[in-house]
Amino acid sequence: MGEETVLQVRDISKSYGPNQVLRGVSFGVEKGTIYGLMGANGAGKSTLIKVLSGAEAPDSGEIRRGGEVVVFPDPLAAQRMGVGTVHQNPNDGVILDMTVAENLALDWLSDTHSPLGFNRKRVEAQAVKVAETLGMRPDRRMLRSPVRELGVSERQLLVLARALSRKPDILILDEPTSALSREEAARLFDMVRALAADGVTVLFVTHKLAEIDQLCDRVGVLRDGVMLDEFTPEPGKGFDWSAVLTVLFDRTPAEMQREGLPGGNVVLSADGVQLFDDTPPFGLDVRQGQVTVVLGLLGSGKTELLEWLFGAESVIAGNRTLDGRAFAPSHPADAIKRGVYLLPESRHEQAIIPGWSISSQMTLPFAGAYTSGGLMQAGRERRAAEAVMRDIGVVASGPSAPIETLSGGNQQKVVIGRWLLGDPRVLLLDEPFRGVDINARHDIGSTVRKLASSAAVLVATSDLDEALEVGDRIVVLNRGRITADMSLGEASRDRLIDAMSARPSHLLDQAG
């Protein structure tokens, strides 16, 4: 551990109107160490990161670097002072309609003193240098592809590479692995350890306990805008997670445990399903009365499976039945009419309309039910949204609040809540816990398990801990093949890991 405190936060407070988000937060991080920051949904983590990265100004308090007070009027100023930040939503760090090369070389293109200009050959050469900081090897076709065509994980890799290429003295990572595969995350961890060994100070925000165990020298717990406590690992034992989680959630881990639910009648059945040209067909039944999880890494086919069940995409082969009757939706609207609803993988791109209120986001799929004579009945819409917000615990100032004012976990609850306004027979959830902390995951899991008493619930995730947290039955999908199918009681980390396989992203597949 280093002795010099490089980053010191003193009595930082921040309010938005009457809502006080940060309440006198103080902590320090020593040079060359990795400081983990944990906090439940709405604890103030994102606001604290915005203050530290120059995106927001604190109402009071100060930030010190090497003992000297610093002020970041904007993110660019923070970058110039050696603070690099990778935010939770990768879309915040990329320009979707620019190419991969242009995004990688964005700092150079933004520098008026750079000799690069917009010469494509020079831009691509610089992009390759930036990509190499994270071991990426994009070929020419990839470099010239629009970022919009990339998956969420690959966009996250671009943002990470660009941040690392700036050689920051302080690196802030907000849920950096939420969209990464196991191999990509392992590569990032190696890079973070190497940076810390070279003297870089890292603030690592995550909801994954295993990541804290693997990486962090210390962890601070933020709750309701207050830094409640800090913990260091015990030699040979690691962190005292019972103590950490009790502070984090104000309840003991034993109070958060649950038993798996048994399955009932088959609601949704798929047979002869072939996801890829070179994979054999399989069958899958989803039952009422339990939450079925499809666990698979990137490229396993889990998203393709859910989108096919919803009528949004086609597969090589397969048949579906719903409550024993043929079910062949050619469009999502057909599925919605039958009560089959999908929460897509990326809420920011596929589920949320920027600038809209919570109530409008919720009622969107069923807007006709809240109109009369072509006019929206605002009172009915508001009352419906308020009821769902109460039922699933959405923390917000009210149903008229813009969706952007909510934390990631609460945004996800809103997107799930919209389907509860309908008559769900099947709820398909693709990566519903991405960027969501443990407490919100527990809340969402409780909501979908309640729903499972009257509907079938199918959750797709690439995170083993999430599968064990929410699933009553876990099906492992490995590159289009089912390699395990077990109840929660049968499932163990070792058995699930054995059934999974790592798959590099398309970017990491490329030869330079």
Q: How far is CA 156 from CA 15, 103, 193, in A?
A: 29, 12, 19
* Euclidean distance between CA atoms 108 and 110, whole angstroms: 5
* Euclidean distance between CA atoms 434 and 190, whole angstroms: 22
The structure tokens listed for 143 are 């470099």
Is 7 a residue whose pLDDT tops 70? yes
* Least confident interval from 1-5, 86-90, 201-205: 1-5
The structure tokens listed for 190 are 């190696």
Would you call 267 helix, strand, or coil by DSSP? Answer: strand
The per-residue pLDDT for range 490-500, each reduced to its tens digit, is 887 778 877 87
Is 506 a residue whose pLDDT tops 60? no
Is 250 a residue whose pLDDT tops 70? no
Which residue pairs, CB below 8 angstroms and at least 24 apart, start in 66-75? 66/4, 66/6, 67/5, 67/8
Q: What is the mean pLDDT of residues 329-333?
A: 93
* Nearest one of 252, 173, 233, 238 to 207, comparing CA atoms: 173
The structure tokens listed for 105 are 């070389």
The per-residue pLDDT for range 253-267, each reduced to its tens digit, is 555 556 777 788 999
The per-residue pLDDT for range 299-310, each reduced to its tens digit, is 789 999 999 999
As a whole number, the mean pLDDT across the chain is 85
Would you call 141 helix, strand, or coil by DSSP? Answer: helix
The per-residue pLDDT for range 82-121, each reduced to its tens digit, is 999 988 777 778 888 888 888 888 887 776 545 545 678 8
What pLDDT, on the 0 to 100 scale, is given for residue 331?
A: 94
pLDDT band for 270, please (50, 70, 90 cuts). very high
Q: What is the mean pLDDT of residues 378-384?
A: 87
* Nearest one of 448, 490, 479 to 296, comparing CA atoms: 479
pLDDT band for 1, please (50, 70, 90 cuts). very low
Residue 204 near residue 36, CB atoms below 8 Å: yes
- Domain 1-82+168-253 in CATH: superfamily? P-loop containing nucleotide triphosphate hydrolases (3.40.50.300)
* Least confident interval from 53-62, 106-115, 369-378, 459-468: 106-115
Q: Name the H helices within 351-461.
A: 358-363, 378-392, 408-420, 438-451
Give the CATH fold of the 265-339+423-505 domain.
Rossmann fold (3.40.50)
Q: Give the residue carrying structure tokens 């937060």.
A: 25
The DSSP 8-state label assigned to residue 319 in this structure reads: E
What pLDDT, on the 0 to 100 scale, is given for residue 115?
A: 53
Q: CB-based contacts of 123: which residues, under 8 Å, 6+ apart?
A: 101, 102, 105, 108, 109, 116
Burial bucket for residue 113 (CB in 10 Å: 0-12, 13-18, 19+): exposed
Is 509 a residue whose pLDDT tops 60? no
Query: Domain ranges in the chain?
Result: 1-82+168-253, 94-165, 265-339+423-505, 348-422
DSSP for 16-45?
Answer: ETTEEEEEEEEEEEETT-EEEEEE-TTSSH
* Euclidean distance between CA atoms 276 and 301, whole angstroms: 8
What pLDDT, on the 0 to 100 scale, is given for residue 48?
A: 94
Burial bucket for residue 44 (CB in 10 Å: 0-12, 13-18, 19+): buried
What pLDDT, on the 0 to 100 scale, is given for residue 171?
A: 94
What pLDDT, on the 0 to 100 scale, is given for residue 476?
A: 92
Is 512 a residue whose pLDDT tops 50? no
The per-residue pLDDT for range 20-46, each reduced to its tens digit, is 889 999 999 999 999 999 886 667 888
Region at 299 (left for phi over 0; alpha for psi -120 to 50; beta for the rest): left
Q: Are strands 218-223 and 34-39 parallel, antiparallel or unpaired?
A: parallel
- Fold match between 1-82+168-253 and 265-339+423-505? yes
Q: What is the mean pLDDT of residues 218-227?
A: 91
The structure tokens listed for 34 are 């990795």
* Euclidean distance between CA atoms 243 and 215, whole angstroms: 19
Residue 306 near residue 458, CB atoms below 8 Å: yes
- Side chain identity at 37, as an amino acid letter? L
Length of the chain: 512
* Least confident interval from 155-164, 351-360, 433-442, 456-465: 433-442
